Amino acid sequence: MTQRIPVVENILNANDHLAQENHTRLESAGVFSINLMASPGAGKTSLIEQTLPRLKDKLRIAAIDGDIATSLDSDRAAAAGALSSIQINTGGNCHLDAVMLRGALDQLQLNQYDLLLVENVGNLVCPAEFKLGTHKSVLIASIPEGDDKPYKYPGMYRGVDALIINKIDLLPYVSFRMDFFQRGVESLNPGVITFPLSCRTGEGMDAWINWLLQNSTK
C-alpha cells in the first residue's frame, strides 16, 4: 500500500525549513513582507495597484506575482509603481511555495527595499498549506464571492494575520450577509484584524495603508 501521508508531511516539512530561511533572509535585509492570498478575481492585483501609488513616496516596494501563466500581474504592479516586479509562473501548480519565493528573492537586492508584496496564485485551498517565509499572511475576500466562504474554506481563514473584505461598494447590489460572514471568520480566527475596503472607489484604503506603514517602519 502506498504511504501517502508521510510523503506529504515530508514535502511540507522541507517547505517549512526553506520558508524559515526565506524569513531570516528578509529579516536580515530589513524588508517587511506580505503574502497576499485570495480566490481568482477577488482583487489581489487591484489591491497592489491601489497600494503602490499611496506608498511609493514613503517606502521602497518590490512585488512578486505568482500565476500559472503570463506576466500580466507583474506588468500591472510595475506600472503602478513597484521598483521591481518579478513574475513567477508555476506552470500549473496552484500555489507558490518557499522554493519559488527563494528563486525570486535571488533576483532582488533586498537591502534596497522596505516592503515586499507577494501575490500568491488565486486559490482558496493550497496556498494555506505552504508557508513562504513572509512576515504576514493576508487573505482578500470579496463581496461577489458570497458570505459562505469562511465556512467552506476554513483552513484559509484560520491561518491568516489579516483579512481584507474587498468590493464593499457592491454591498447594495449583492446578497451578502456581513454578520453571517463575520461570525464564520470569528469562529476560525478570533480577533483577526479586518479591513473592509473598495479598490474601485478607495473607500477604506487608509486603514490598510496605515497598517502597512506601521509594520514596515518598525
In which region does residue 130 sit, left (phi positive, over 0), alpha (psi from -120 to 50) or beta (all else)?
beta
Q: Which amino acid is at 60?
A: R
Structural domains of the chain, count: 1
Average pLDDT, the chain: 93
User: Rounded distance, CA 113 to CA 156, Å?
Assistant: 28
Report pLDDT digits (tens) over 105-158. Answer: 999 999 999 999 999 999 999 998 899 999 999 999 999 999 999 999 999 999
Give tens-digit pLDDT for 56-100: 999 999 999 998 888 899 999 999 999 999 999 988 789 999 999
Predicted confidence (pLDDT) at residue 6 exceeds the cutoff of 70 = no
How much is the pLDDT for 91? 83
For residue 68, the model assigns a pLDDT of 84
Q: Is the pLDDT of residue 180 over 50?
A: yes
Cα separation, 6 vs 3, whole angstroms: 6
Tell me the residue range of the domain where 93 lies: 4-216
**Rounded Cα distance, 211 and 164, in Å:** 12
Q: How far apart are the first and last CA of the chain?
A: 52
Q: CATH number for the domain including 98? A: 3.40.50.300
Q: What is the pLDDT of residue 93?
A: 85
Pairing of strands 193-196, 84-89: unpaired
30 vs 43: CA distance, rounded Å? 27
For residue 149, what pLDDT is reported? 98
pLDDT value, residue 71:
87
CA distances from 10 to 16, 22, 88, 134 (A): 10, 18, 24, 21
Does residue 196 carry a pLDDT above 90? yes
Does the pLDDT value for residue 187 go beyond 90? yes
Sheet strands (E) in 12-101: 32-38, 61-67, 84-89
For residue 179, pLDDT beyond 90: yes
Q: Which has more pLDDT, 13 or 158?
A: 158
Helix (H) or strand (E) run with residue 194 in it: strand 193-196
Residue 3 has a pLDDT of 47
